[in-house]
A and B are shown apart, each in its own frame.
With several copies, the nearest count.
Chain A
Amino acid sequence: MITFEHVSKVYGEGYRPALAEVTLQIDKGDFVFLVGPSGSGKSTFLRLVLKEEKASSGTVQVAGRDVGRLRSWKVPALRREIGVVFQDFRLLTDKSVFENVAFALQVLGRPRHVIAQSVPETLALVGLQGKEKRRPHELSGGEQQRVAIARAFVNRPSLLLADEPTGNLDPETSVGIMKLLDRINRTGTTIVMATHDDDIVDQMRKRVVELRDGRVVRDEDRGVYGSAR
């Protein structure tokens, strides 16, 4: 699904590299935790997958595409195969839950009847039946993150990226979100999640990739958050 080969990323002259010689393979259907201290390059890794940034050297392949060589007008097609979730939800505050999720389909020009079918289906999947008409501010943080996940997943992407999706949530709510992501992973969707949340990583026992100063220092199946603790 994702292949990094000797990928480095330097944001500018004189900066130290945010990613240094990263080589990594993530297969279809994997659930990978990306851990590491602040500034270790987790978000940079995800941005490279999305082609929000361009690698300084090395090759990045995502879903069979060579991302580095991708023409800019083909980038949207790449992003349609990837769903993304962030710590701060990034919902549109003046749109209802239904509209927020539908937005992702509207901009792709999906016909009305497709939207009328997919959106409620996806909202049911994330456990938000009956809350279609609410505005984001009328929801708890956990529910807002579910809306964000529904939006990322409504287009049935084969890859879901999550950058600290539980960072703003209390532990209880976080567990709920993780269960949801696990369920989505079981449908065959590859999930890569950057996180600081040791409890969650330790509990889920999935593949863990640890970055430190832009280098992969650990890559374990069924790993835990801290290696040296």
Chain B
Amino acid sequence: MRLGFVLREMGAGLRRNFTMTLSVVLVTMVSLFFLGLGLLVQQQVSILKGDWYDRVQVSIFLCGEVSGEERCPTGPVTTEQRDALRAQLEASPLVDRVFYESQQEAYDNFLEQYDDALTENVTPDQLPESFRVRLTEPDRYEEIREQFAGQPGVEDVPDQRAILGPLFAAMDGATRVAIGLAALMLLCSVLLVSTTIRLTAFSRRRETSIMRLVGASRALIQLPFVLEGVVASFVGAVLASGALYALVEFGVGRLNDRPDFTTRLVETADVLWPTAPVLVGVGLVFSVVASLLSLRRWLRV
């Protein structure tokens, strides 16, 4: 009886301020969409970082026949130099495992990676032999680089991070923009929820005043208003999750399906958990807080 009463009152409120409710739903949807986007980009960054750290290898290129005077004043690497380097690497606590790549192996890889036009004119002895080193702590990359670059027999230790650095910076920037927009829009949706409640309280002040007069409890008077905000926010959160799902399914998913695209990307499963529940949670918390704040001012007993 009472539950039915509360729900009927809530429904009446939602219908009476339909444009307002629609605004709340849309603004909440957009705000939570950006929040979710930020979360997904963050997830993507951590996937990429994880992948990169798994794969990260220091390449130590050794001097060959074709290396320039400038970098390799001692000429091609000697057997002793190569053994000394290997021993040094294997002794280092930073090093997990060491692979040696000969000139022939480098040539095979080169053939695989690039297309005919370029490879036709390249011979194995034009490519450098190298040590490929996997680290125990990928973060301490720079230390290895500094230790080995410039040692006799070493031609170059290129810095791979220079490639990924800007990518990560861009994604971090995107996250910040998305979260910033989300914060701005969440502010809007809090303002709107409280305005909606104020509007509803205003348009239903006659009912409310009668309820107060006949001695309805505070909870019974206020519950329909809180529920109204909660329902609107919930719908907004569900719509935002749906939009993210569609984005991942049709936008990211299409990339993922391309055979030449090997980077692991966020999936729809990532939207379903944990993004969507987080959005619903944030939406509910904000709307309840907004409701309670405006109820304090507009619906005293």
Q: Which residues of A contact B (CB under 8 A)?
A: 50, 72-73, 75-82, 84, 90, 92, 103-104, 106-112, 151, 155
Contacts and interface: CB of A to CB of B under 8 A. Distances in A.
A107 B218 contact: no
B207 interface: yes
Contacts, number: 55
B296 interface: no
Contacts of A111: 1
B53 interface: no
B48 interface: no
A80 B214 CA distance: 6
B215 A77 contact: yes
A92 B206 contact: yes
30 contacts: A72-B218, A72-B301, A73-B218, A76-B216, A76-B218, A76-B301, A77-B215, A79-B212, A79-B213, A79-B215, A80-B215, A82-B215, A84-B213, A90-B210, A92-B207, A92-B210, A103-B210, A104-B210, A104-B214, A106-B5, A107-B5, A107-B214, A107-B215, A107-B216, A107-B220, A108-B214, A108-B215, A112-B1, A155-B214, A155-B215
Interface of B: 1-2, 5, 206-207, 209-218, 220, 301
A108 B216 contact: yes
Contacts of A155: 214-215
A136 to B, nearest CB: 11
B218 A78 contact: no
A155 B215 CA distance: 10
A155 B218 CA distance: 19
Contacts of B218: 72-73, 76
Given A106-B5, A109-B1, A76 B210 contact: no
Given A76-B215, A90-B209, A109 B2 contact: yes
Nearest to A94: B12
Given A107-B220, A109-B220, 5 more contacts: A76-B301, A104-B214, A106-B5, A109-B1, A155-B215
Contacts of A82: 215
Q: Is the interface of B mostly helix, strand, loop or mixed?
A: helix
Contacts of B213: 50, 79, 84, 90
Given A73-B218, A76-B216, A112-B1, A107 B301 contact: no
Top 4 A-B pairs ranked by shortest CB distance? A80-B215, A79-B215, A107-B216, A104-B214
A106 B1 contact: yes
A152 B43 CA distance: 61
Contacts of A75: 301
Most B Cβ at <10 Å: residue of A76, A80, A112, A151: A76
A113 B267 CA distance: 55
A158 B67 CA distance: 107
Most A Cβ at <10 Å: residue of B210, B215, B218: B215
Nearest to A51: B301
Contacts of A110: 1
Nearest to B9: A107
A55 to B, nearest CB: 17
Nearest to A73: B218
Contact of B214 (A72, A73, A79, A112): A79
Given A75-B301, A76-B216, A76-B217, A107 B1 contact: no
Nearest to B214: A104
A151 B1 contact: no
B204 to A, nearest CB: 10
B221 to A, nearest CB: 8
Nearest to A78: B215
A121 B212 CA distance: 24
A63 to B, nearest CB: 12
A74 to B, nearest CB: 10
Nearest to A111: B1
A155 B220 CA distance: 18
Nearest to A93: B206
B32 to A, nearest CB: 34
